[in-house]
Structure 1
Amino acid sequence: MKIRNKVVLITGASAGIGLAAVRRFAAEGAKLALVARSADKLQELAKELQQQGNEAVALPADVSDAKQVQKAIEETVRHFGRLDAVINNVGQAAVGTIADMDPDNFRKIVDLNVFGPLAAMQAAIPIMREQGGGLIINISSVVSKMNIPGLGAYAATKSALNMLTDTARGELAADNIRVITVYPRSTATDFGKNALGQPSSGQERKGAPNADTPEYVAEKILAAAVEEPEEQFMD
């Protein structure tokens, strides 16, 4: 997909990978719908982009709430007149072994990491069908391909997202709606610090010493949007 003048909605837009993706897509001339819970940060970001000559709208929303997701997508179309791409980036981890993880924390990240992207897809698909096509990029994690003690709950949510993405890709191909999975590795953000639960003995909430920068991941997300592979890894 050519990015210039395309309307791109990005969740988790106020920090980390989402923020880096916003700036990278803005540099390519996208029109941006910014979604995150932090209204103040979103407004500041939208103002910054507008001052740089970009079109952007701040749409504060809790992605774990399907009604708020639906409203954000409707507001995007109302503002820009269309919706070309959705990047489901927002996510959260929960730490704890299978024996001791808090089920309530697991439910919370299922709502955010699985039902949030599902709500965005279900809201966007009718719009994209009517337009004649569109692009959906779901941000997963390489953790979904691994077995890491203490991260079973998080990996399970991303594995579920992988399956939804793979299935949607086949179901929507005839509608010219392309669906892509992106697999970040350890990234230098506050993601680990914001995880729910208590790490087990010996576990620490920090990225690997050679963690990717958010900007590197954003570059890979942009590449996925432009080249449209089924899956995008970091290498």
Structure 2
Amino acid sequence: MELKNSVVLVTGASSGIGEATAHAVVQAGARAVLLARRQDRLDDLALELGSDVLAIPCDVTSPAEVQKAVQIVQEKYGRIDVLINNAGQGLYATIEGIYIDDFRGLLNLNTVAPLIMMQAVIPLMRAQGAGCIVNVSSGATLATYPGSAAYTSSKSALNMISKVARLELADAGITVSLIHPFMTATEFYGSVKSGLNTAQEQAVGATSIAHPPSLVAHMIVNLIRTGDEETDLVPKEYGGSFDG
């Protein structure tokens, strides 16, 4: 899909990969729609990116808020060409130590919310006869690590939703793609649902190998343009295919 003049909706846009992706799509000539809960950060980013950027505070776990946001976009631009499901959160705990309420919350944000977003934009994309959805998964789903069961299971479920959606929506001209980032230098490790100390230790240990969010954003832009099924930024020695 050509990005120039397209309308691109990015969730989790207030920081990290989402913020970098907003920069990347605007640089490619797209009109960015920024969704996140932190309005102050969204407003600052929109001001930085330029006049043709729409910032909408939204809790993507709320179907009502998502529908309202999509309606605002439709009224302003008349279309949504690309959805980038980036909002998400981590959780570090052993199987015995996973708090069920925390796990439910994680599933709601990492798995259910992307589905809510997809269901909200697919009718518009069907009517347009074209569209692109990119779901941000995790490189951690490509291997097995102690303490990762809650997080990786939520993202593995997103992987299957994405793959089935790609099959179901192909005839409508809608591509659904997956990206599996590697460790990325963002606020992710400081905002996990639980296991903060473990996450921060991992972040410190990964400083030398963590990717900048701009690299993930670049790969997301490539997925939009090519419509490929999936890509990953996980180095080969960690079970991925990335040579960079």
Q: Same fold (TM over 0.5)?
A: yes
Q: CA separation in 1, counterparts of 2:26 and 2:15? A: 15
Q: CA separation in 2, counterparts of 1:200 and 1:46? A: 33
Higher share of residues assigned helix? 2
Q: 1:98 is matched with which residue?
A: 95
SS at match of 2:56: strand
1:202 CA displacement = 9.8
Q: 2:28 is matched with which residue?
A: 28
Residue deviations 1:142-190, cap 9 Å, x none? 1112111111100000000000000000000110010000110100111
Shift in alpha-carbon separation, 1:101–1:182, aligned structure 2, 3 A: same
Confirm or deny: 8 A CA contact 1:69 1:116 kept in the other structure: no
SS at match of 1:99: helix
Q: Give the TM-score, by structure 1 length.
A: 0.95
Counting aligned pairs with the same residue, the percent is 41
Shift in alpha-carbon separation, 1:192–1:78, aligned structure 2, 3 A: same
Q: 1:8 is matched with which residue?
A: 8
Q: CA separation in 2, counterparts of 1:184 and 1:148? A: 16
Q: 2:210 is matched with which residue?
A: 211
Shift in alpha-carbon separation, 1:200–1:55, aligned structure 2, 3 A: closer
Moved more, 196-205 or 148-157: 196-205
Shift in alpha-carbon separation, 1:29–1:109, aligned structure 2, 3 A: same
Q: CA separation in 2, counterparts of 1:205 and 1:75? A: 40
1:43-62 alignment, distance < 5 Å: 43-50=43-50, 55-62=52-59
Say whether residues 1:194 and 2:167 are aligned partners.
Answer: no
1:198 CA displacement = 2.5
Confirm or deny: 8 A CA contact 1:31 1:56 kept in the other structure: yes
Question: Where do 4+ consecutive residues of structure 1 move more than 6 Å?
Answer: 200-203
Q: CA separation in 2, counterparts of 1:99 and 1:157? A: 17
Residue segments in structure 2 that go unaligned for 5+ positions in a row: 234-241
SS at match of 1:124: helix
Confirm or deny: 8 A CA contact 2:60 2:109 kept in the other structure: yes
Q: Give the TM-score, by structure 2 length.
A: 0.91
Q: 1:152 is matched with which residue?
A: 149
Q: 2:238 is matched with which residue?
A: none
Root-mean-square deviation (Å): 1.5
Residue segments in structure 1 that go unaligned for 5+ positions in a row: none
Q: CA separation in 2, counterparts of 1:15 and 1:156? A: 24
Q: Work out which of the residue numbers 125, 129, 132 in structure 2 matches 1:132.
A: 129
Q: CA separation in 1, counterparts of 2:198 and 2:6? A: 47
Residue deviations 1:17-65, cap 9 Å, x none? 0000000111011001100001111112112222xxx511011001121
